[in-house]
Structure 1
Amino acid sequence: MAEADRARADPAAGAGSTRARYRRILRFAAWHLALTWWYELLLPRLGLRRITERTRTRRMIRFARRFRALAVELGGLMIKVGQFLSSRLDVLPPEITKELEDLQDEVPPVPFPAIRDLAEAELGTPLGNIFAVIEETPIAAASLGQAHRARLLPAAAEDAGMSGVVVKVQRPGIEAIVDVDLAALRRVGGWLSHFRLVSDRADMPSLVEEFAQTSLEEVDYLQEAANSERFDADFAGDERVAVPRVAWERTTRRVLTLEDVTAIKITDTEALRAAGIDPVEVAPVFASVMFDQLFTTGFFHADPHPGNIFVTPTPGAGGLPWRLTFIDFGMMGEVPAGTRSGLRKLLIAAAARDGGGLVSAIGEIGVLLPSADTAELERAMSRLFTRFGGMGFAELREVDPREFLAFANEFGELVRSLPFQVPENFLLIIRAMSLTSGVCSSLDPRFNLWDSVEPYAARLLREERGNLLQDASRQVVDAAAVAFRLPQRLDRLAARAEEGSLTAGNPRLERQVARLDRTVRRAVSAVLFAALLIAGAILRHDDPALGTVLLAISALPLLHSAWPGRRGP
């Protein structure tokens, strides 16, 4: 039995189990960090890089398998960490992502009696007083909770406006497990921040806190219910998207009752074809809906894996004969306005195959630090677009692997030399886009992301031009107002000149002069400190008293040279 299950079965053992869980996570992380340091940092410095390269694939597979075993046994946030790693196709080797990609399907369910006890305690009444029937076998079991199909009693159904529902219940004791896992992850994040290879790319403590905030929101079902209604409002009137209604009277922080919207799993291509739906037509619609969330509304579903999206046939409806039904709004993300603007520019530049524009957008998002020399990166991106731009996944698979390898090695060296970082609020964006790409490729092996990007980017470009036109109109109005007031201001200026009361100032120049003055003073102090220190050290041998005095006095100009002084306005 796993440690978390033992803690639920024996509350008195909970504290000991918590400590053991915490220590186990830290031991796992410490051991593999030590291995990474040994193979990736120390051995290359000793001239043994060939050993590192020869064993890398085997080591990565072994790490992924061990982490997977740990995550399945412990559950909790370890499953979430594994799911996130499995979606990082952009930076992690396929040896790792392939081992972890189906972690979401390996979570063992909690026995129904424990689920029933928690639900009845939360709802304040036996389940038989609310539901005519509730299935004991869950339709989905996740790391933080599990879902059971049910049917409301007639009176409750009338109140809720629905009969068939899905009841989502937290795993008993999951909040304590989440607290332990977050404490361990914070410790590991602190360790990683001391590795320059990591700290130069990401602020690990901040990223862990971002993950913590998302995780804590996931164990609050009232927050999830509010997220679903906000998402529904964002797509109100959009025939492509559907969202289950919330039965608020039967919802608490640990129990969530939703309309049963179970339909065809989005990647079940056989069932889609049986329903008369072409999977190839679903892929671009799904991509477009995800683009809308990331680039327009700014509020997006951060966990769009196949289990969270259904294709619901809508026979007889105008327009599309089906809809995309999203469920599970526990993991949601928000794109700040500045980041959203950068993402829009990035999408437009990618569609236009504009290497310079793409690099500029990356810098605006915050992925590329301002100190980066981007000339080489712009040239590399232009070559990338020239050779591979516009290709779909199927076409890319037909390219000679040696060509890919040569370009990847050259591009990888360039990327490692630049000051990249992972900004806050970006992990969920990367996860959402990685999962979107994977789902679309499952629907259509020849899916070409460019076919969806280009029309969407064209629409964004039209909107940007509209915004520019509005900005230009406002500037014309502002300029007209300034021109209208200009004669009066010139009259007042001439009057002050005649009175002799006109003065001129340049605050920027004054600040620069003040800074130069402080710099010169500190430089003089530094020279004086060095002279006194050397003189004291030389004289101390022949005249200990005078030498000691000079050494002591040298501390005064040292303090002045190091002290930043009072800054100007």
Structure 2
Amino acid sequence: MASVRRNRADPVDDPGAGNIRARYRRILRFAAWNLAVTWWFELLLPRIGLGLVAERTRPARMQRFARRFHVLAVDLGGLMIKVGQFLSSRLDVLPPEITTELAGLQDEVPPVPFPAIRALAEKELGVPLERAFAWVEETTIAAASLGQAHRARLLPADAAETGLKDVVIKVQRPGIDAIVDVDLAALRKVGGWLSRFRVVSSRADVPALVMEFAQTSFEEIDYLHEAANSERFGVDFADDDRVAVPRVAWERCTRRVLTLEDVTAIKITDVAALKAAGIDPVQVAPVFASVMFDQLFTNGFFHADPHPGNIFVTPAPAGAGGLPWKLTFIDFGMMGEVPASTRSGLRKLLIAAASRDGKGLVAAIGDVGVLMPSADVAGLERAMTQLFGRFGGMGFAELREVDPREFRDFAVEFGDVVRSLPFQLPENFLLIIRAMSLTSGVCSSLDPRFNLWDSVEPYAAQLLRDERGNLLQDAAQQALEAAGLALRLPGRLDALIARIEEGNLTAANPRLERRAARLDRTVRRAASALVFGAVLIAGAVVRADDPALGSALMLASALPLLHGMWVGRRGRNPRL
């Protein structure tokens, strides 16, 4: 008779349980408070000459924020875990005080009690578990934010039909649909708040990003969609000896229950276990990077959540590539697709990065669609050229040895240029960034001296050879474009001469206009600060003899202070 293996330890309660309205309010309170703190320290204090205070307190503030969000995410579960995982992967833009603290969210999710899992699985499958499986292990092998996994074995008849025996059942957390709905509602509200800040809205369409995140989340809780993703991924790598993908037991799958071949092996970042199996972690890193490059730049269908818990290293007989192991991917709920046009831009970006071509890199960024057409890219080209000249080719270990003052000098010189550029994140670009960030982190865990450039350069060289195959076609296209330009040139010259004769010709220099506006605001604020200081000191002196008049003067000093804080806002272009 079929059995269910019991576990005496009672797991903690489902983190998604509780009052939905209270959950919504808690998320908004957390976001509002931290946005207010960020506004105060990062925007207000620098305006009134207290930027050093914000700079000195920044590391401690970032660490406190990360700790509080860590507690919030673990308490609430749901999409808050996904948000934390994304933040922990942004090693490129977020300080280590945040990424280090949130890194534990990759695995730190308490499981749901098994009786609740059993009830949901039996409702979905339409039969008791004893009639669906030979046995099911009650102890969870993985607990994620949206579901959890248990080992099981198919009944003999099903095993003979599917060719599978040992499987893993992935079951959604009960009530996760309602939790996802309320979390997305809260994120939409926070996105609306962020879009009110011009410094944010001019660089990214936050509501669109939340919508993309919502679409990804809905796909993640549809296990039939994940099963289809798994099979598609398997087809992409069917002839690749480096990669293995679990097979799907479709007869035991529904929207909330997924049954896959049990492919559990060595976790990719378990260096000790890899060495014990005779596998050199240093050799695994470049192979993993290459497989991810193939997904992003060649196939266009990529695993967007390649954190260590989703990739195993499976010992296997040496294949055509000579490797005595394979990379086994699991959890295909979060997948990304790169459109052909974006993939072409990414290939150009990779080639430019590998060849240290700053100008080519900026052009490729434009092709991908990150920079808006109105962007003044001359300064960015200079910044990228100097960045490659000084830091190009360095791995993370080498970068850690660079004097921090060099990074500060670079940021001071080009910070205004980068911040002034209008950019946007195209569809799926958030997932691309996440995939590459996690790839870099996994490779660095396998080999602390790992240099991503060592993997990028040979891959880019192959892409360049492929691109040269289309050289004649590109040359013909350019010839046609040149011919079209030559035909249009006389008419354009006539129009230009007419505008000169009419006195309607104008020229714009965005950088000069920004600097002039900044200088005007600085002068006005300096005048207001002088008046503020004079009135405040006068009040303090007079107060000793006339307390009433002195207090009135000290209170009145707040008026020029407020004027200095907000003066010039009407004339600003990128206003907050």
- For the superposition of Structure 1 and Structure 2, which TM-score range results when normalised by the shorter chain? 0.7 to 0.9
SS of residue matched to 2:298: helix
Contact 1:3 1:21 in 2 (8 A): no
AA of the residue aligned to 1:284: P
Alignment correspondent of 2:270: 268
What SS class does the counterpart of residue 312 from structure 2 fall into?
strand
Structure-2 residue corresponding to 1:557: none
CA distance in 1, matches of 2:229, 2:305: 13
TM-score, normalization by structure 1: 0.80
* 2:370 is equivalent to residue 361 of structure 1: no
SS of equivalent residue, structure 1 residue 101:
helix
Matches within 5 A, 1:6-25: 6-7=17-18, 17-25=19-27
- 2:224 corresponds in structure 1 to 222
Write the distance in 2 (CA, Å) between the matches of 1:361 and 1:327.
32
Counterpart of 2:258 in structure 1 is 256
2:508 corresponding residue in structure 1: none
**Alpha-carbon shift at residue 5 of structure 1 (Å):** 4.9
Aligned to 2:470, the other structure's residue is in SS state helix
SS in 2 for 1:431: helix
Equivalent residue for 1:454?
Answer: 457
- 1:419-466 CA distances to partner (integer Å, 9 max, x unpaired)? 233333211000000000000011111111111111100111111111
TM-fit CA distance, 1:385? 1.3
Cα distance in 1 between the residues matched to 2:386 and 2:318: 49
SS at match of 1:102: helix
Q: CA contact under 8 A between 1:202 and 1:423: conserved in structure 2?
A: no
Q: What is the aligned partner in structure 2 of residue 49 from structure 1?
A: 51
Cα–Cα, structure 1 residues 176 and 507, in superposed 2: closer, same or farther, change >3 Å?
Answer: farther
Spell out, residue by residue over 1:350-387, the C-alpha distance to the aligned partner (whole angstroms, 9 max, x if none).
Answer: 11111110011111112222222222221221111111
1:31 is matched with: 33
CA RMSD of aligned residues (A): 2.6
CA contact (8 A) 1:170 1:254 kept: yes
Tell me how far apart the structure 1 counterparts of residues 174 and 60 of structure 2 sit (CA, whole Å).
38
Q: Which residue matches 2:80?
A: 78
Q: Which residue of structure 2 aligns with residue 417 of structure 1?
A: 420
The equivalent of 2:135 in structure 1 is 133
Distance 1:351 1:53 in 2: 34
For 1:389, the aligned partner's letter is G
Choose which of 328, 332, 336 in structure 2 pairs with 1:329: 332
Asked if the contact 2:117/2:173 (under 8 Å) is kept, the reply is: yes
Worse-superposed segment, 397-406 or 276-285: 397-406
For residues 123 and 289 of structure 1, the distance between their equivalents in structure 2, rounded to whole angstroms, comes to 36
Provide the C-alpha distance between the structure 1 equivalents of 2:475 and 2:385, rounded to a whole number of angstroms. Answer: 31
1:295-314 to structure 2, matched below 5 A, reads 295-314=297-316
Q: Does the alignment pair 1:40 with 2:3?
A: no
Match of 1:390 among 393, 410, 418: 393
Deviation for aligned residue 1:404 = 2.8
Amino acid at match of 2:444: S
Residue identity matched to 1:337: A
Structure 1 stretch 162-171 or stretch 89-98: which is displaced more? 89-98
The amino acid across from 1:335 in the alignment is V
Which residue in the other structure is 1:343 paired with? Answer: 346
Q: Is the 8 A contact 2:187 2:210 kept in 1?
A: yes
Per the TM alignment, residue 512 of structure 1 is displaced from its structure 2 partner at its CA by 11
* Residue 320 (structure 1) aligned with residue 323 (structure 2): yes
- Number of equivalences: 483
Kept in 2: contact 1:3–1:74 (CA 8 A) = no
CA contact 1:4–1:177 (8 Å) conserved in 2: no
Q: Is the 8 A contact 2:106 2:307 kept in 1?
A: no
Residues 120-142 of structure 1, C-alpha deviations (whole Å, 9 max, x = no match): 11011111112112110110000
C-alpha distance in structure 2 between counterparts of 1:397 and 1:54, whole Å: 21
Equivalent residue, structure 2, for 1:381: 384
Q: Distance in 1 between matches of 2:492 and 2:261?
A: 63
Shift of 1:189: 0.5
Q: 1:87 to 1:161 in 2, by over 3 A?
A: same
- Alignment equivalent of 2:407, drawn from 404, 408, 413: 404
Q: SS of the residue aligned with 2:100? A: helix
Letter in 1 for 2:432: I
The residue number in structure 2 matching 1:240 is: 242
Does the CA contact (< 8 Å) of 2:241 and 2:319 recur in 1?
no
SS of residue paired to 2:428: coil
- State the 1:394 CA deviation: 2.2
Question: 1:188 matched to which residue of 2?
Answer: 190
Identity %: 79
Q: Within 5 Å, give how 1:470-549 maps onto structure 2.
A: 470=473
Query: For residues 275 and 245 of structure 1, what CA distance do their matches in structure 2 show?
Result: 25
- What secondary structure sits across from 2:217 in the alignment? helix
Q: Is the 8 A contact 1:294 1:300 kept in 2?
A: yes
Higher RCO (C-alpha 8 Å, min separation 6): 2
Q: In terms of Rg, which structure is larger?
A: 1
Query: Partner of 2:159 in structure 1?
Result: 157
Q: Does the CA-based 8 Å contact 1:2-1:73 persist in structure 2?
A: no
The equivalent position to 1:167 in structure 2, one of 162, 166, 169, is 169
Q: Which amino acid aligns with 1:302?
A: A
The Cα of 1:281 is off from its aligned counterpart by 0.8
Shift of 1:211: 0.4
Distance 1:303 1:467 in 2: 33
Q: Following the alignment from structure 2 to structure 1, what is the Cα–Cα distance between the partners of residues 21 and 496?
A: 57
The residue identity in structure 1 corresponding to 2:469 is G
How far is the alpha carbon of 1:509 from its aligned partner?
11
**CA offset digits 1:469-493 (Å, max 9, x no partner):** 35568999x99xxxxxxxxxxxxxx
- Aligned letter for 1:279? P
Instruction: Give the drift of 1:332.
Output: 0.4
Q: Which amino acid aligns with 1:86?
A: S
**Counterpart position of 2:468:** 465
Query: What's the counterpart of residue 210 of structure 1?
Result: 212
> Relative to structure 2, which stretch is displaced further, 263-272 or 46-55?
46-55
The alignment status of 1:179 with 2:181, answered yes or no, reads yes
Distance 1:343 1:467 in 2: 17
Q: What CA distance in whole angstroms lies between the structure 2 residues aligned with 1:472 and 1:509?
A: 26
Does the C-alpha gap of structure 1 residues 188 and 167 become closer, same or farther in structure 2, counting only changes over 3 Å?
same
Corresponding residue number in structure 2 for 1:10: none
Q: Aligned pair 1:433/2:436, yes or no?
A: yes
Q: Aligned partners of 1:328, 1:24: CA distance in 2, in Å? A: 30
The 3 A distance-change label for structure 1 pair 194 and 387 is same
Task: Give the letter for the 2:456 counterpart.
Answer: V
Quote the Cα distance in structure 2 between the aligned partners of 1:313 and 1:216: 35
Secondary structure of 1:146 counterpart: strand
8 Å CA contact retained: 1:241, 1:326: yes
Shift of 1:20: 1.2
The equivalent position to 2:92 in structure 1, one of 86, 90, 93, is 90
Deviation at 1:3, TM superposition (A): 8.6
SS at 2:148 equivalent: strand
C-alpha distance in structure 2 between counterparts of 1:95 and 1:313, whole Å:
36
- CA distance in 2: counterparts of 1:376 and 1:196, whole angstroms: 22
Q: Which residue is 2:64 aligned to?
A: 62
Give the distance between the partners of 1:112 and 1:30, measured in 2 at CA: 36
How big is the shift at 1:48? 2.1
Residue 469 of structure 2 aligns to a residue in which SS? Answer: helix
Unaligned runs of 5+ in 2: 1-11, 482-489, 505-576
